[in-house]
Amino acid sequence: MKKTILLLLILSFSFSGCEKDDICDANTVTTSRLVVTFYDYNNSSVEKSVSNLTIIADGMEEGITYNGSTLINGSTVAIPLQTTAETTTFRFIRNFGSTNPAALPNEDIITFNYTTENVYVSRACGFKTNFALDPITPFVQTDAATPDLLWMQLIAVRNYSIANENETHLEIYF
């Protein structure tokens, strides 16, 4: 009798679930990118699509890839921030490579200032980095080295904390 109880105990122990924890699940929220949404400056409640926008980080040759392309067409983009620094500068080039006189390339430079925090996720995923944009000067907008006027009319921070990609962190009106 005692033995059957013990055996049952072992059974309950052994079936108590061994979950796979060696591979980091793709659905796990890890280091998030800065989500930017573009709006129409003249009608601020309407999202506006950018055309052939390329975003290149300082010191990089290639632009960031979003949805499999370095040329961004659409009203949202997610930008990776450097986890090893507290500032990352990007060149936002609109109409990249265009020779059409009606839509010539225009470059604006934005430097993001933030603090990082490394947060434990799991054995398989290790840590992730959460960013918090500087509350006083979250970003600095400047014109290109060869001035071509600013194409972004207004930049606003929606969320200072960057811990997931489900929400917009930055709004750009043009």
Partner 1 sequence: MKHILKSIFSLFFLFSLFFANAQRKEAPKPKIKDTVTVNTVPAKTVVVKKDTVIKTDTIIAPVKTDRYGLRLGIDLFKLSRSFYDKDYKGLELVGDYRWSKKYYIAAEVGNENKTTDDARLNFTTKGSYIRVGFDYNGYENWLDMENIISIGMRYGFSTFNQQLNNYKIYNTNQYFGEIPPVTSGQKYNGLTASWIEVVAGMKAKVFNNVFMGFSLRFNRLITNKQPNNFENLYIPGFNRTYNGDFGVGFNYTVTYFVPLYKKKVKPAEEVKKTPKK
Question: What residue ranges bind partner 1 (CB under 8 A)?
Answer: 2-3, 6-7, 9-10, 13-14, 16-22, 24, 26, 28, 30-31, 33, 57, 60, 64-65, 80, 82-84, 118-129
Q: Which residue, 10 or 145, has its beta carbon nearer to partner 1? A: 10
Q: How far is the CB of 151 from partner 1 (least distance, A)?
A: 23
Q: Which residue, 39 or 79, has its beta carbon nearer to partner 1? A: 79
Q: What are phi and psi of 5, to 5 degrees?
A: -65, -45
Q: Which residue, 63 or 174, has its beta carbon nearer to partner 1? A: 63
The dihedral through the CA atoms of 168, 70, 57, 115 has a sign that is positive
Q: How far is the CB of 49 from partner 1 (least distance, A)?
A: 22
d(CA 57, CA 50): 18
Q: How far is the CB of 93 from partner 1 (least distance, A)?
A: 16
Q: Give whole-number Cα distances, 37 to 33, 70, 81, in Å.
A: 13, 17, 16
Q: Give whole-number Cα distances, 173 to 79, 116, 151, 154, in Å.
A: 17, 27, 9, 5
